[in-house]
Amino acid sequence: MREMRSRAADLNGIDQAAPAALAPHDMTRRLKAIFVGSIGNLVEWYDFYAYSAFALYFASAFFPGTDPVVQQLNAAILFAFGFIVRPIGGWLFGHLADHYGRRRALMLSVLLMCFGSLMIAVTPTYATIGIMAPVMLGFARMVQGLSLGGEYGTSATYLTEVAHEDHRGFYSSFQYVTLIGGQLCALLVLLVLQQGFLTAAQLKAWGWRSPFVIGALLALVPYSPPRLRP
């Protein structure tokens, strides 16, 4: 009996020592997953708010008339439309995440955001295709709203689950930090283009497309298949 207890104690000692040996690797994996998830959140919020940051320059390209106030109000309506569809995106991607996995849901949300930003960047103006210009812009905003709504809830779940149980509150807080960070990055890009690279005329003519191209490219980075692990 004593021999059996001794062997059991030895086995328990081995079992307890194993996690300690794997702890550094496990911590690295968790931190990498949290970093990737947080950066993805930042990129999506950058894409979403680049619209409001540059609306001053592109509103006249999509909406007819000579009154800039009316043009800005029309652009603001589409900006609000992106918020209206976000709950639908949350429900849709929440369902997809439960049935097909968080990784696939997050990948799809990022690809949708990439598509929405790229669509805004390449959509012709009202002078070129008429009423289809604001229609395509509205569709792009709908896609962005669905994407952001889906990414927000799925990313929150992902960050909470990959974090250590003793630090879930701290690591999941990075979702809100990167939310604000994405908005600040959109404003930073605007300031850099305004002050360092383009004139107001160039921004109004074609420069407003630049941040959406940047956002579309960045949207492909955070959740690349080799880096994201469920």
Q: Are 215 and 117 a contacting pair, CB within 8 Å?
A: yes
For the stretch 18-52, pLDDT in tens is 444 446 666 676 677 677 667 778 888 898 899 99
Alpha helix stretches (DSSP H) within 101-222: 102-122, 126-129, 132-162, 168-172, 174-192, 200-205, 210-218
C-alpha distances (whole Å) from 124 to each of 83, 113, 133, 137, 216 are 24, 19, 6, 10, 17
* Of the ranges 60-69, 95-104, 159-168, the best mean pLDDT one: 60-69
Nearest to residue 151, comparing CAs of 101, 96, 110, 100?
110
**The residue to which tokens 């002050």 are assigned:** 195
Give the domain 51-218 fold. Answer: Growth Hormone; Chain: A; (1.20.1250)
pTM > 0.85: yes or no: no
Write down the domain spans for the chain. 51-218
Does 61 have pLDDT greater than 70?
yes
Q: Are 93 and 153 a contacting pair, CB within 8 Å?
A: yes
Does 77 have pLDDT greater than 90?
yes
Q: Are 162 and 103 a contacting pair, CB within 8 Å?
A: no
Nearest to residue 82, comparing CAs of 56, 52, 122, 114?
52
Q: Which of 101-110, 121-130, 140-149 has the lowest mean pLDDT?
A: 101-110
Residue 72: partners with Cβ closer than 8 Å, 6 or more residues away: 55, 56, 59
The one-letter code for the residue type at 209 is R
pLDDT at 230: 42
Q: How many residues does the chain have?
A: 230
Can you count the helices (H) and strands (E) in the chain?
A: 10, 0
For the stretch 119-139, pLDDT in tens is 999 999 999 999 999 999 999
Q: Distance of alpha carbon 72 from its chain centroid, rounded?
A: 25
